[in-house]
Structure formats: structure tokens, C-alpha cells
Amino acid sequence: MKSVAVVGASGAVGEVMVRLLAERNFPVGSIKFLASERSLGKSIEFGGEKHPLELLTAEAFEGVDIVLSSTPGSISKEFSPLAAKAGAVVVDNSSAFRMDPDVPLVVPEVNPHDVANHKGIIANPNCSTIQMVVALKPLHDAARIRRVVVSTYQSVSGAGQKGMHELWSQTEAHVSGKDVPSPSKFAHPIAFNCVPHIDDFLPNGYTKEEMKMVHETRKIMGDNTIDVCPTCVRVPVLHSHSESILVETERPVTPEMARELWSKAPGLTVLDDPGQLVYPLPASARDRDDVFVGRIRQDLHNPNALLFWCVGDNLRKGAALNAVQIAEELLKLDPVGA
């Protein structure tokens, strides 16, 4: 059994982490929930008991084996190293350590072996990257991917509780004929709109979110030669991210070959029968563990290029589930302690 601490348990991702620990019967011997001062006084229910939120301090990690952390990067930079110094292994959901060469960046369906290389911290990738690389891995193993062109359609839950509230409040105002509240979480109104802007813009014209997909994909796949060309868009959908992906490979991959590869791959479900209107939808992917692929078709002019549509629950596989799966990989390295 393991002593577990969850940091940020009251947030959108943290709530799902807590639920998944119970759903997947993670061997929790003891658990604590850590938060900032403003959350003190609240409690989290787990295992049929209510646990009060405790103050996030360096001392709070004493005796903890595994930390699941979902906090802003600035908080992670301060406290994740302190937790590791106290002897815990931290699965960090922020962007703080993802590109640190000494920190593994892991998607268990793609590179579970990298878990063993940790030095106290393991990074959980960006939500849009996670679902894409789960779909890319079987294609890369079979035909080696050279180039990926991806456009994302990312739900507002990717911006947390505040993002969801902003969509709700603006939609209600539209429907009731009231003045629409000014945006605060997003750069422009999100209700009945699409915003091609997630995170800050960089001098090269891309956003930080887009460059995360470039760098993280290469690190997770273990291949710095993969060319990733992303455009990230926020859409007025509450849950689940969607992605339109074009993949160019060294050797041709037909739609039939891709369906066969994906049907055997872990964490993937093929939904691809356009004649019966069967294809992945964000509404039906919510609270599902798998990444869903469909609309699979060959490029009209390039036999070495394949197009498909990819959908996943960004709070579940795109964040919380992937973190818990990493923790499960840690159990395999320490079966006696588990």
C-alpha cells in the first residue's frame, strides 16, 4: 500500500484524479489532500471518508510515497522538488518540468519504460499532446512518421473551472438576451465563437500551447526528427478535445492498415463508419478512458499521408488518467512496496 498526496485536489483535474484513484482501486494506504491557504476549511471525500484539505508545505510531504500534483507551474517549481527531496515521487501535471532533460515525460501507452529513469519527478504531458501521441505511436512503429500537421479544437475545461464558467455565463446571457459578460479567462468571448489562441504568443508567431505539442511530441516519441506543425484553437465545447491530424510517413499506410494497427493498440478505440454517421465526438468521449479515432482517409495526392480525426477527454486521459497510469507504472517498479 502507498501513502499518497494529491496537490490541487479541488481543481478540475484534481477532482478527476481523486475519483480515478478510487475507480481503479489504486493501493492507497493513506492519503492527504494539499492546497493553498484559501482552500483550507474545505474537505475531499475519498474511501467513504471526508479528508480536510491541509496546507501545502514542505513538511506535508514527509512519509509520502507518491504525489499527484495539478497546480500552476510556479507552484510546481517550488513544491515538486521539495516533495522529491522528502522521498516522494511526484507526477507533475504542470508544464514546469516537461522539457527538463532530467525529468521523464511519459504517456504509458507510448513510453512507459521512461518511468524508470525518474529522479523524483515525472512530468505529465500537455492534454492535446497526450491524445495525439497515443494515436501516433502505432503509426510511427509501423511506418515512421516524418511530419504531422494538426489543428486542435480544445474544450474550455482545458482552462479549468474558470474556463467552463465563462462559457456557461456567456451562453446564458446570449440565450436570455442580456449583456454578455466580458471575457476574463479567454482573449475574446468564447460562446458561439472560436478563438485561435491558447496560451501566450511567441516571437515565431506560434503560441506556447502549439510549441508544447512540437517539443513534447518529439520527447515522448523519442525522435527529434518528427516535424510537428500545430494550430491550437479554443472552441465552445465544455469537455473533450478534438484534433484534425495529417500524418506523413516514410512508408505508405492505408486506412485499412491504420484501422488494423489502432484496433490492436492500447488506449485506442476506432470509430470509423461515416456511412452510418459513426465517428468520434467530444460529447460522447467525456468520462471515457480511451482516445478515439475516425474519419480515417488517404491524402488525395500523397500515398504516404493519412488524415484522421482524434478525440479524447482532456481532463481524463489528457490529464488525470495519464497521471494515475504513471503512478501505476511506478507500482510495477516497486511491487513489494505496493
Q: In what order do the strands lie in the sheet with 291-298?
A: 227-234, 145-154, 241-249, 305-312, 291-298, 268-270
**pLDDT tens across 101-127, in order?**
999 999 999 999 999 999 999 999 999
Q: Which of 127, 140, 232, 310 is catalytic?
A: 127
For residue 22 the three cell numbers come to 478510487
| Three-state DSSP state, 82 | helix
Which cell goes with 95? 508544464
DSSP assignments along 252-282, one per residue: ---HHHHHHHHHTSTTEEE--BGGGTB---H
Name the pTM for this structure.
0.95
Q: Which domains does the chain have, with CATH numbers?
A: 2-125+319-333 (3.40.50.720), 129-314 (3.30.360.10)
Tell me whether residue 241 is one of the annotated catalytic residues. Answer: yes
* Catalytic hit among 118, 232, 241, 310: 241
CB within 8 A of 104, min separation 6: which ones? 111, 114, 115, 117, 118, 122, 123
pLDDT at position 38: 82
Q: In this structure, what C-alpha cell is assigned to residue 316?
A: 481524463
Q: Specify the DSSP element, H or E, that contains 81.
A: helix 73-85
Q: In which residue ranges of the chain is pLDDT below 70?
A: 335-338
pLDDT digits (tens, 9 = 90+) for 37-52: 888 888 999 989 999 9
DSSP 163-216: HHHHHHHHHHHHHHTPPPPPPSSSSS--TT--B---S-B-TTS-BHHHHHHHHH
